[in-house]
Amino acid sequence: MHSNYSLKISCGHISTSYNEIAKCVINGFNDSVNGRLEISIMDIRLCEFLHKFKMATLEQIHRYFSIIGLNKNWSSRLEKLNKSYNLINEITLYNEKYGEVVCYVLDIGGMYLLNNYSNEDINPRVDDLTSQRKTYDSMFQIHPHSVVKSLICTEIYLRELSKSNIIGIENRFRIREYLEFNNEEIELGNSVFLNLKIDMMLNLDNEINCAYLIKVIIEDEIDKICIYIERFSKFIQNRAYIDKYCSLDVEEVKLNLVFINYDYMKMVEGELKHRDLNLSNVVITNKNLAIEEGIIIEEIAI
């Protein structure tokens, strides 16, 4: 199965003037090239949203502000924030089936804005020139699959937010713990580390005692998916791990594998039944099916 994704990136400039950003926030100022420049509270709220979920499409941005009761047409504003202010970058994701999907991500200027004018937890080295260069260069190392995963996590969040069901959320974290094995288990080749990357964790108010660890599956081979499930099984066997990464109130943790391709999901589902795996806490869905019974995640055009 091949997704055939490609990317085109429109970045701001590394020479972003932090003094100018500060002026835009405080009083605004007149620029000889771009005219009157001002940064509003709404612009800061947009940057906070992009910092939390990394990437979002124009439609997702409109929907987010509509849900929280702050309707605004961002169509022309996003272009200005990209080209005149250098607060955000524009990424065009191309897929041969669905065509182009344009999304937005924070630039180094947006990180500086949040670091100085919001309560967001930003890298304290954002003012450092070396950190700026690394952030700028990393834009051109983004894999298309990372964009797809980010957009789907944003979509899942928005669908649940519209129902006011979200109690807690954590994005893009890695479970990494040292396992205690005996010599026989080590000789069998078992890894002494529990290492599992999670795309998003959600706690919903109708199941407060359950945490969903969401992992988006694009082209992961069946053997790799089995490793995810095996590592998750080791994770839920240790209450200390659950308390550390989820919540002290959580009684149950489920691994939700969200597939991009429905046919591939059905093939994997059939294959997993013949593997020696504990699937009791594993939920397998595709992006337009349910996280849990009665909660629907509709499809987005990717």
Residue-wise pLDDT tens digits, 198-212: 999 988 766 567 888
What is the average pLDDT score of the chain?
Answer: 77
pLDDT of 134: 54
The full set of domain ranges for the chain reads: 5-142, 165-296
pLDDT at 251 over 80: yes
Average pLDDT estimate for 150-177: 82
DSSP 231-295: HHHHHHT-HHHHHHHT-TT--EEEEEEEES-HHHHHHHHHHHTTS----TTEEEEETTSEEETTE
pLDDT of 61: 94
Half-sphere exposure of 144 (CA within 13 A, CB side): 17
153 sits in which H/E element: helix 144-161
**167/160 Cα distance (integer angstroms):** 10
pLDDT of 49: 92
Band (296; pLDDT cuts 50, 70, 90): very low
**b or e along 27-59 (b: 16 or more beta carbons within 10 Å of the residue's beta carbon)?**
eeeeeeeeeebebeeebbbbbbbbbebbbbbbb
pLDDT at 260 over 60: yes
87 vs 216, higher pLDDT: 216
What are the distances in angstroms from CA 21 to CA 15, 29, 206, 287, 291?
12, 10, 42, 38, 41
pLDDT at 27 over 80: no
**153/167 Cα distance (integer angstroms):** 16
pLDDT of 162: 80
pLDDT of 301: 31
pLDDT of 214: 92
Lowest mean pLDDT among 146-150, 183-187, 292-296: 292-296
CATH 1.10.10 at 5-142, yes or no? yes
CA 232 remoteness from chain centre: 20
Average pLDDT estimate for 150-156: 89
Average pLDDT estimate for 97-117: 83
149 vs 296, higher pLDDT: 149
285 vs 181, higher pLDDT: 285
pLDDT at 225 over 90: yes
The pLDDT tens digits of the residues spanning 274-287 come to 888 888 888 888 77
**135/127 Cα distance (integer angstroms):** 11
In 3D, which of 131, 100, 85 has the Cα closest to residue 6?
100
pLDDT of 224: 92
pLDDT of 270: 85
Lowest mean pLDDT among 40-49, 107-116, 135-144: 135-144
The pLDDT tens digits of the residues spanning 45-79 come to 999 999 888 899 999 999 999 998 888 889 888 88
pLDDT of 14: 45
**213/282 Cα distance (integer angstroms):** 10
**47/58 Cα distance (integer angstroms):** 13
pTM (2 decimals)? 0.79
pLDDT at 299 over 60: no
pLDDT of 38: 79
136 vs 168, higher pLDDT: 168
Percent of the chain residues topping a pLDDT of 70:
71
The three-state (H, E, C) secondary structure of 190-245, written as one string: CCCEEEEEEEEEEEECCEEEEEEEEEEECCCCHHHHHHHHHHHHHHHCCHHHHHHH
